[in-house]
Amino acid sequence: MSLSDLPTLAEMRAVPRACPKGKSRLEQTGAEKRLTVIDEKAFRTSVIDRDGAICRCCGRKVVRTLARVPERLEVHHVHGRRGDLRFESRAALVLCLECHEKVTGRVNFRLVIVATKTFQFQGRELTDARRPVRFERAA
């Protein structure tokens, strides 16, 4: 092989790379986990429509208002608002402000939500809020 047989720099750039670069970690994780676009308003509306604007704890008719009145409508996230559970309607229910404060422990005693049915979500067994639930006083 002589020196004249070697390709020039311009010819080397024109040739496609034999080993293409793989995807970055960001591209791989983005392809694995497709984000579902759900907004807060649609999530709240679906939970309220399902529960019929009735408190699941005491049965009181609740209203949408900004005032801090006992019959104020609150959407309670049974398992918190972290990650993919934030907009999962199976894990949320309607409560009045008074019962919501009892469930979250902001008053003298606390109520605990006891599941009658559960569902599997990312390998965890969680309370299914679409089914009837019981509220028991925590010790």
Q: Which stretch of 13-17, 44-48, 58-62, 67-71 has the lowest confidence by average pLDDT?
A: 13-17
pLDDT at 82: 82
- Evaluate whether residue 5 is within a structural domain: no
- Evaluate whether residue 113 is within a structural domain: yes
Question: What angle (nearest 5°) sits at the alpha carbon of residue 55, between those of residues 77 and 101?
Answer: 60
* Domain, as residue range, for 44: 39-137
- Evaluate whether residue 29 is within a structural domain: no
DSSP, res 61: B
- Evaluate whether residue 45 is within a structural domain: yes
CB neighbours (10 Å) of residue 78? 18
pLDDT tens per residue across span 58-83: 999 999 999 999 999 999 999 888 88
Amino acid type, 127: T
Looking at every residue in the chain, the average pLDDT score rounds to 85
- Evaluate whether residue 17 is within a structural domain: no
- Evaluate whether residue 28 is within a structural domain: no
- Evaluate whether residue 30 is within a structural domain: no
- Evaluate whether residue 78 is within a structural domain: yes
Please determine, for residue 5, whether its predicted confidence score (pLDDT) is greater than 60. yes
Q: Residue range 37-43: average pLDDT?
A: 81
Q: How much of the chain, in percent, has pLDDT values that exceed 90? A: 37
Domain count, the chain: 1
